[in-house]
Amino acid sequence: MPKVGMEPIRRAALVEATIHEIGAQGTLDVTVGAIAKRAGMSSALAHHYFGGKEQIFLAAMRHTLRLYGAEVNTALRAANTPAQRAEAIVKASFANSNFRPEVIAAWLNFYVLAQTVPDAKRLLTIYQARLRSNLVHALRPLLRARADEVASRTAALIDGVYLHQSLVKSKAQHSQAAEDVLAYLDFELKETM
């Protein structure tokens, strides 16, 4: 039992536990105690490391968004043409790591958190801006003036698919979801060529 340098380990465990707990309950109505228990520690320690429930939630958000961002970046780096770039972004959005029931539920609840907690709103806004920016960048060479419009629509479509998926607790069919959005993109792109 190491007694030093526990902080990053504990924090990571709590963040992980928070996402799973929110996912399991489908609500932000989870107790710090439940999160801490799942993370294998006392609720007092959770408070010690994060200062409060809200900060725990925010850390979980940051973690989720960071993971998502990393997924997108990795996918982008493997893409060579504009079309591949756009496709990469969409596929990353529905990658296995993101499109799991608990993450979908967490995502939905982050939107709720954003209604109340300014920092949460800020995080989500940044995420949306980055997503749109990535899409515009990929689509500009192909769609010119329409790139903005299509990017916005694609972004909304992605979130809409997530929202729908939150109702279907059955194993999330990520390939299906990705295909759905990709079909739309293809449609737009074929049109132009």
Partner DNA sequence: AATGAATGAGGATTCATTCAT
Partner DNA sequence: GATGAATGAATCCTCATTCAT
Q: Rounded to an integer, what is the distance from CA 159 to the centroid of its chain?
A: 10
CB of 28 to a copy of itself, least distance (A): 8
Interface of this chain with a copy of itself, residues 162 to 181, rule: CB under 8 A: 163-164, 166-167, 180
d(CA 159, CA 179): 14
Choose between 16 and 102: whose C-beta lies nearer to a copy of itself.
102
Query: Which ranges constitute the DSSP H helices of 94-117?
Result: 101-116
CA distances from 75 to 12, 85, 88 (A): 25, 8, 5
Give the three-state DSSP class for 180. helix
Nearest to 138 by CA among 89, 187, 67, 75: 89
CB of 21 to DNA, least distance (A): 10
Residue 31 makes contact with DNA by CB under 7 A: yes
Site string for DNA, 4-23 (x = CB under 7 A): xxxx--x-------------
CA distances from 74 to 47, 78, 85, 152, 186 (A): 34, 7, 11, 22, 22
d(CA 107, CA 26): 10
Choose between 67 and 124: whose C-beta lies nearer to a copy of itself.
124
Residue 119 makes contact with DNA by CB under 7 A: no
Choose between 67 and 117: whose C-beta lies nearer to a copy of itself.
117
Site residues (vs a copy of itself, CB under 8 A): 25-29, 105, 108-109, 111-112, 114-116, 121, 124-125, 128, 149, 152-153, 155-161, 163-164, 166-167, 180, 183-184, 187-188, 191
Q: List residues binding DNA (CB under 7 A).
A: 1-7, 10, 30-33, 41-45, 47-48, 51-54
